[in-house]
């Protein structure tokens, strides 16, 4: 499955996948979320590849996450919410489980689901102008366990609480300090450094790189999530707070949350 706003280029053992909706800060629609797993599964099965680079078009954003303006048609019913959740989680896991190392080139904003995509990558290159955050609380959203696991594993509970509960968005320097970024370079060098990193990875033994990525993931083990935990995640779309937050976003005003 492909999508016109997801551009794939390959050469010299490196695949570059570009999220290309710069006018919307590379925010993803449901069809884009649905297309990502198939793209990464195809890349994963390509033994000629050595590394994958994930980037956003332009310099303003890696990805602002989900396209909230599309929620009116993409979400709102139980069936739609299940399809959206499945697509989001499948996209996250397809990146995490990709056989090849994945490098995220984080120019500009990496927010919400965009931050989640970056955290699923094995390397994250950013600059001082990079902004990383998960403003789920501003929309009354429940962030999926798979995304929370990556955040907790990479940055720890204190940072996770700052991002999710306090609503902190970090600059590139702050993100590096909190291990959200693996490398900080000047803003104008982010894309070049991500590609240079991919080339260095590609110089290594691909079987060893694939084994070590797979082994490190296996050592973490499965998520300790019960069916009840997953069922709770499906509750937020029924809340008045979620409906109010979406309406406030579309009306360009601050939401008023009631806790119901």
Provide the residue range defining the domain that includes 65.
6-187
* pTM for the whole structure: 0.93
61: in domain: yes
Average pLDDT over every residue of 107-121: 98
- Between these two residues, 248 and 9, which has the higher pLDDT value? 9
Q: What is the pLDDT of residue 249?
A: 81
Nearest in space to 151 (alpha carbons), one of 130, 174, 126, 180: 180
| Cβ burial, residue 55 (10 Å; 0-12/13-18/19+) | buried
The average pLDDT across 6-16 equals 97
Does the residue 158 lie in any domain?
yes
- Which of the four pLDDT bands, split at 50, 70 and 90, describes residue 76? confident
CATH number at residue 171: 3.90.226.10
User: Which DSSP state fits 46?
Assistant: -
Which of 159, 47, 68, 63 lies closest to 106, judged by CA?
A: 63
Task: Give the pLDDT band of residue 1 (cuts 50, 70, 90).
Answer: low
Cα dist. 116→6, 12, 161, 172, 207 in Å?
Answer: 17, 28, 15, 16, 27
Distance, C-alpha 51 to centroid of its chain: 18
Residue 243 has pLDDT above 90, yes or no: no
Among candidate residues 88, 19, 98, 112, the one with its CA nearest the CA of residue 52: 98
Whether residue 31 has pLDDT greater than 70:
yes
At 194, give phi and psi (nearest 5°).
-60, -40
Strands of the 61-63 sheet, one edge to the other: 61-63, 109-111, 131-133, 169-171
Mean pLDDT over each residue of the chain, to the nearest integer: 94
Q: 79 lies in a domain?
A: yes
Looking at residue 2, what is its pLDDT?
A: 81
How many structural domains is the chain composed of? 1
Q: Is residue 245 part of a domain?
A: no
Q: Is the confidence at residue 50, as pLDDT, over 70?
A: yes
- Asked if residue 17 belongs to a domain, the reply is yes
Which has the higher per-residue pLDDT, 232 or 122?
Answer: 122
Give the mean model confidence (pLDDT) for residues 75-90: 90
- DSSP bridge pairs for 53: 16, 103
Between 14-18, 46-50, 171-175, 255-259, the lowest mean confidence (pLDDT) is in 255-259
Is 140 inside a domain boundary? yes
- Per the domain annotation, does 75 fall within a domain? yes
Residue 23 has pLDDT above 70, yes or no: yes
Q: Which of residues 246 and 119 earns the better pLDDT score?
A: 119
* Mean pLDDT of all residues in 10-24: 97
Region 92-109: what's the mean pLDDT? 98
Collect all residues with Cβ–Cβ distance below 8 Å to 143 and sequence separation of at least 6. 116, 134, 136, 164
CA distance 196 to 190: 10
Indicate whether 227 belongs to any domain: no
């Amino acid at each position: 499955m492909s999508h016109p706003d997801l551009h794939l280029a390959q050469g010299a053992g490196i695949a570059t996948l570009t999220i290309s909706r710069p006018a919307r800060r590379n925010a993803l629609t449901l069809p884009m979320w649905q297309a990502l797993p198939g793209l990464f599964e195809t890349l994963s099965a390509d033994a000629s590849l050595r590394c994958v680079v994930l980037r956003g078009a332009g310099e303003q954003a890696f990805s602002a996450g989900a396209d909230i303006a599309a929620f009116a048609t993409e979400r709102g019913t139980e069936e739609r919410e299940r399809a959206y959740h499945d697509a989001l989680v499948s996209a996250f896991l397809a990146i995490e489980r990709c056989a090849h190392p994945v490098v995220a080139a984080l120019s500009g904003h990496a927010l919400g689901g965009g931050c989640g995509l970056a955290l699923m990558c094995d390397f994250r290159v950013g600059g001082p102008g990079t902004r990383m955050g998960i403003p789920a609380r501003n929309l009354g959203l429940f962030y999926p366990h798979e995304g929370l696991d990556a955040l907790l594993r990479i940055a720890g509970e204190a940072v996770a609480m700052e991002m999710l509960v306090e609503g902190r968005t970090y600059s590139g320097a702050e993100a590096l300090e909190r291990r959200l970024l693996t490398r900080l370079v000047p803003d104008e060098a982010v894309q070049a450094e991500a590609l240079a990193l991919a080339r260095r990875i590609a110089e290594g033994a691909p079987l060893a790189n694939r084994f070590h990525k797979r082994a490190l993931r296996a050592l973490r083990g499965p998520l300790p999530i019960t069916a009840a935990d997953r069922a709770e995640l499906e509750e937020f779309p029924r809340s008045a707070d979620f409906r109010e937050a979406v309406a406030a976003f579309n009306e360009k005003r601050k939401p008023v949350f009631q806790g119901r």
